[in-house]
Structures are given as structure tokens and as C-alpha cells.
Amino acid sequence: MKIGLEQLRLRTVLNLGVRRQMDLQTSVRVQLVNLIALLGIVSNLQYSVLFTVVSAPNFWIMNGIHFAVIITFVYILYLNYIEKYSLARILTVVTITIPVFFASMISFGNSCGFYYYFLVFALSPFVIFSYDEKFWILFVFLYNNLLYVWFEFFGSPGTFEEGTLIHKESIQELFRVNSVVSCLFFVALIMFYFLRNINRIQKEMIRTNAHKDRIFSILAHDLKGPIGTMNSFLGFLMETTPDRDELIIALKELKKSTNQSYLVLENLLDWVKSESKKIPINLDTVNLSKMVHNAKDILNLQASDKGIQWELQVPSNVFVHCDERMISTVIRNLFSNAIKFSFPNTKINVEVVQDPSFVELIISDSGIGMSVEQIQQIYEGKPFPTTFGTQGEKGTGLGLLVCSEMLKNQGCIMALTSSPNIGTKIRIQIPASL
């Protein structure tokens, strides 16, 4: 448990300033700045202790510099938190060179290999700046390389007082080895983190392409049918003079096709928004009974055509704390699925169970049900192949996924139980209005 909490804190710090609406590449750069800031804090603390222990020249001055640099790195984390990303990046590439510059200038010269860090710092802008910030990439790369060349070829060894640990050649050699190993470690860690996120970007591209293909498939198949039906009936009404019964039948079919097209389009748009993390959430106190009856009225025609009866046990004074548009979409989707997959001449039961902290909406149907694999795919957020209703009604496979995502974003819980050819029961727990 303790290890889990420590990992959670570290992940929280690494994700400071990362927002849901960010693209993956931008979020990676923010995380890398946070990572460099954390490494800077740890390494400055480490070297402050080591310089004191070995009595390095001017170690009190260096401790003051280390302290100032640590405060700056903490401030950089804060800048990311308040979304001052550009300033945080610029301050990072400037700050990381300061302790190494002063350690090489006033304490060690080109002894102990501290100036090797400039080679690592020369690479840092390539991973934390975007291609559009070419000036900063080139500037940081050049001045770090110039500092390295200066100390390597024009610098002089430090002067160490006899009797101190740092005066010993073996200690100086240990510092040099530590500098080389630390440089390699920092490069490996940053590159590993970068490669890990490149892999995430590649997976995101594959997922995006799959979503694009699914959108085209839905537009080509699931909207083509109802729109074709509407076109046929409108042509029939324009070319003939139907009697009253024929007109009612045609209008009912038009209404069904319109509702089906609207639901498909709404699910598609909500799914795209949820995948791109761009659905705004507006929580408020709303009447659950009103939303249930509105959804029933919209879909009553489809239910009547299949001889399906409603059994509503929803008190009129039940209030919940949620996003009204989202919950209305969820209820409408669940009712539509219940009608689509119910056997003709059966019942759909809707009831409410109230608790001090939440309201549970239970929707039960008598239909073809779902397999264990389908339920698992819904819980995992994976689209599953399009299935057909009991009278050949076609779905998109998105309805329950959209519902699951919308409920999760509001702190609601959805639980499914189903048995093939018996029916499905869906329980939704919505926070109660206080």
C-alpha cells in the first residue's frame, strides 16, 4: 500500500499541468519538463551533500546555488501546474546549466568531469521543445556545446586543499565516474521516457485510424438505411395521393427513420467527443422522472410497433445531481436498446431505488440478451461488432460505450447483468441531489 501511494505521488508530480484537452505530444513535453525538474531537485540535493562531505572549494557558496536552483525547479513545476508551459520550458533549459557552470568555475575546474553534463543538456531541448521552437533548440544546443568545449580545452583543474577528501585522486576519479554514469543515466531515462511516449503516440494514431474507419462505416451503413427509407416514403407521398391509413403508416415509418437517424448521429458525435476528451460536463440538480418520461415519449412509437409495454415505477419527485443532457442521452440509448433487443409483446420495466447518497435507475427487458464477452468489451471500453435486434433492427455498437463513458465522467456507475434469450438488466447509480 505504501509503495502504491509513493508511485501515485510520483505520477501526480509528473503529470502536473497535463490537461485532458491536450494532444499527446504536448502532454509528453510537459511530463518531460516535470521529469527534468524532479531529476534536478534530486541531483542538486545529492551534490550539495557530497560537496560538503568532501570539503570541495567554496562548498558553502555552491550550497547556496544548489538551494536557489532547487527552489527554481519547484517553481518550474508550479509554472506547469498553472499552465505557463513556455516559460517553464525556457526556465528549465537555463536553470539546469547553472549549478554545473558554477561547480566547474569556482570549485572543480575541469577536474571531476562535471562539465560532461553540458553534453546532456545540449540534447534536452530536442525533447521538450516543439519543432516550431527551433530558435530555442538551436540556442540551447549551441551554448551548452560551447560551454563543454571551453572547460574541456581551455579550462584548468581545480585547486584542492591538502587534507580534504577532494584532494585525493581516488575521490576525484569517483566524481568523474559518477559524472559519466549520471550523464548516461539521465540520457537513458529521458530517452526511454521519450520512446515510451512515442510508442503511445503510434498506438494513438492506430486507434485514431480505427475510429475514423468506424465512423465512415457508420455513416455508410447505419445512416444510409434510415435516410433511404425516408427518401422512399417521401417519394411515395409526393407521387401518389394516399388515403388516411396509408398516410399514417408512411408518417410512422418516417418518424421511426428520423428517430433512428438522430440517435445514430447523436451517438456518433458523442462518441467522437468522448474519445477526443472534449465533452463539457455541467452538473446540476435535475428531475430524473422528467428525463425518463421524455425518453419514453420519444421512443414510444418504436415500442408500440413491437407491442412492447412500459412498466414505469419512477416517483415524480426524484432529483439527481448530474449533467442533464448526458443522462438524457444515456436513458434514451438504454431505452432504444431495450426496445430493439426485446422480443415482441413483452415488457420493459423501469424502476428507481433511492439511497441517501445515490439514486439507482434499473432498466430490465425480456430479449436476446448479451454474451459475457460483449459485457466485458463494454466494461473495457471496446467497440463490438454491430448486432441486430429481434426484428432485424441494426445498431452501431456504440450506444452502450457512449453511455459508459458519459456515466464514468460524472461519477456514475453502470452495472450489467444479462442472459442470452432471457433479457438484460442495467443498473445505473447517479449521485443524489443533496
Q: What is the DSSP string of 52-90?
A: HHTT-TTHHHHHHHHHHHHHHHHHHHHHHHTT-HHHHHH
- Do 26 and 110 fall into the same domain? yes
Which of these three, 206, 234, 265, is where a domain ends?
A: 206
DSSP 343: P
What integer pLDDT is reported at residue 397 of this predicted model? 58
Q: Could you say which of 172, 190, 206 is where a domain stops?
A: 206
Grid look-up 569556482 returns 106
* Domain-embedded: residue 386: yes
Q: Angle of helix 59-81 relative to helix 85-95, nearest 10 degrees?
A: 160
Give the chain's domain count. Answer: 2
pLDDT at 23: 76
Q: Where are the beta strands (DSSP E) in 295-406?
A: 309-313, 319-322, 347-354, 358-364
Residue 89 domain flag? yes
Shortest CA distance to 120 belongs to which of 179, 80, 69, 76? 179
Any domain includes 90: yes
pLDDT of residue 141: 93
Residue at a domain's end among 168, 186, 206: 206
Answer yes or no: do 202 and 307 share one domain. Answer: no
SS3 for 179? Answer: helix
| One domain, residues 162 and 29 | yes
Q: Is residue 276 part of a domain?
A: no
If asked whether residues 39 and 175 sit together in one domain, one would say yes
For 293, the domain range is 281-431
Q: Among 304, 292, 326, which residue's Cα sits nearest to residue 256? A: 304
In the numeric block, which cell numbers belong to residue 228?
433511404
Q: Which of 124, 120, 116, 108 is nearest to 177 (CA)?
A: 116
214, part of any domain? no
The answer on 286 and 188 residing in a single domain is no
Quick one: 202 and 286 in the same domain?
no
**The pLDDT of residue 270:** 64
Question: CATH number, domain at 357?
Answer: 3.30.565.10
Residue 225: the pLDDT is 58
Per-residue pLDDT of the chain (434 residues; tens, 9 = 90+): 344 434 447 788 888 888 877 777 788 889 889 988 998 999 999 999 999 999 989 999 999 999 999 999 999 999 999 999 999 999 999 999 999 999 999 989 888 889 999 998 998 888 888 888 889 899 999 999 999 999 999 888 888 888 888 888 898 899 889 888 888 888 887 778 777 777 777 777 776 776 666 666 555 555 665 676 677 777 777 777 777 777 777 777 777 777 767 766 766 666 666 655 556 677 889 999 998 988 888 788 778 888 899 999 988 888 999 888 888 888 888 888 888 888 989 999 999 998 888 999 999 998 888 888 878 877 776 666 556 777 766 665 566 777 787 788 788 888 888 888 888 999 999 998 86
- pLDDT at res. 278: 55
